[in-house]
Amino acid sequence: MMSTLEELQNIAYAHNGSRTAITGYNASVDYVVQLLQDNTDYNVTLQYFTFLYFQELAVPVFQQTEPEEVRYINNVDFRNLRYGGSGNITAPVAYVGGGCNESNYINFTTNFIALMARNYLTDCSLQNKIDMANNKGAAGVLVYYDPGTTGLFGSGLTT
147 or 3: whose pLDDT is higher?
3
**Total-model pTM:** 0.61
Domain residue spans of the chain: 4-39, 62-144
**By the 8 A CB rule, do 63 and 69 touch?**
yes
Determine the average pLDDT of the residues in 91-117. 88
Q: Please write the tens of the pLDDT for every residue from 117-142.
A: 876 556 678 888 888 899 999 998 88
45 or 86: whose pLDDT is higher?
45
Rounded Cα gap, residues 98 and 15, in angstroms: 42
Q: Please write the tens of the pLDDT for every residue from 19-48.
A: 677 778 888 889 989 999 888 888 889 998
Determine the average pLDDT of the residues in 91-114. 88
Rounded Cα gap, residues 68 and 5, in angstroms: 55
State yes or no: pLDDT of 61 exceeds 70: yes
Assigned architecture for domain 62-144: 3-Layer(bba) Sandwich (3.50)
Q: Which of 54-63, 70-79, 143-152 has the highest mean pLDDT?
A: 70-79
18 or 140: whose pLDDT is higher?
140
Neighbours of 146 (CB within 10 A): 10
